[in-house]
Structure 1
């Protein structure tokens, strides 16, 4: 058993009943091999954990660099497939790592807003999500985490249908435009299931 599998089963046993996690649209999440870019809104520090235990495949999350500098936690986060990204600047190493995750057929988890929403409302997405969507042939799956994060209150994780990307790749759409499209799909999921 890998550390990821062990950690996931422990976290699953604690978080799913505590937040009464309801997963919707799992049939929209491709369970076969192949790269998947999983894009979600970001309302709580626990989002990566909740999204991670809700998917049928392991997720490699881009996480803020500061997490990796915390003793013990940094090592655990790294063993759970996460890798660091410097916020507020173009981090070429993180971009390269993210592309490799997708090209190797894994799931890359992103929060396109780049930071947690203080209000709970969906913010503007950064161009990084569009960059990954355009530079690989990965399927792009929108995801919405719908709170509140309160003990024994229902918390929803909703997966939308993969976004059709082929025509956007062929017409060489901008990363900003593709990110806007991804964010609008996340917004639709929030509106529909809130």
Structure 2
């Protein structure tokens, strides 16, 4: 328990520093309220475990990508990371009154679904230019069965234009706690695994070739799948688990 409080104290100090550097004064209070109110509840109620947080750069632009199977995903990922994450979320999610204030307080980036959204891309690139963290779910939507779906190329585009490193993440247990259609999250154990940073090839950034985008997207989804394998391997008796299905990449960004 003592180690948990020490870890929580370090995260609070790191968060205050990042907020001073990255968010306007008027935005900090609400972000701190949301972060400090939810993070302890999430860590206790969902028995949140974090693996590999040291792989997240302490400063500078970062693109964070993760699997997406539950409404809890941005909540638990935001609680696990000491840095503020500006998630790209579907604009339709703001229709949920009980989520709207949370997304607003967490400084999310709304994305239109009916077409490619250059406004959202521009806003995300602006965040990265300011040295902030942008989070997105490359599958483009929630998985209905908890398995990885085919990915889209938005993260690859951001990585190519900004040059920011991409941190793959795997969220284990959120689907079981709060699957689609559930009314309220069940007490569960959730683990967040942060992977090694991936970089879009420097010599290929200027061209922004579609094939290169697709290849990088495959690398990102593959990295998430490997983190899934690691988690499954460690969580099952005997250290043996199912091999994650190879993800595919959609031709749409």
Q: TM-score normalized by structure 1?
A: 0.92
Partner residue of 2:150?
124
What SS does the aligned partner of 1:117 have? coil
1:21 counterpart = 2:21: no
1:161 counterpart = 2:186: no
Distance in 1 separating the partners of 2:186 and 2:147: 21
**C-alpha deviation, 1:36, in angstroms:** 0.2
- Residues 43 and 69 (structure 1), Cα distance of their counterparts in 2 relative to 1, 3 Å cut: closer
Distance in 2 separating the partners of 1:6 and 1:107: 19
**C-alpha deviation, 1:70, in angstroms:** 4.2
Distance in 1 separating the partners of 2:133 and 2:163: 12
Q: TM-score normalized by structure 2?
A: 0.71
Please identify runs of 4+ aligned residues in structure 1 that moved more than 3 A: 69-73, 166-173
- Residues 89 and 168 (structure 1), Cα distance of their counterparts in 2 relative to 1, 3 Å cut: farther
TM-align CA RMSD: 1.9
Listed as ranges, the matches of 1:35-184 within 5 Å are 35-71=61-97, 73-147=99-173, 148-149=176-177, 151-167=186-202, 169=204, 172=207, 174-184=212-222
- Give the number of the structure whose residues are more often helix, by fraction: 2
Query: Quick check: which has more Rg, 1 or 2?
Result: 2
Tell me: higher relative CO, structure 1 or 2? Use CA pairs within 8 A at least 6 residues apart.
1
Unaligned runs of 5+ in 2: 1-27, 178-184, 233-253
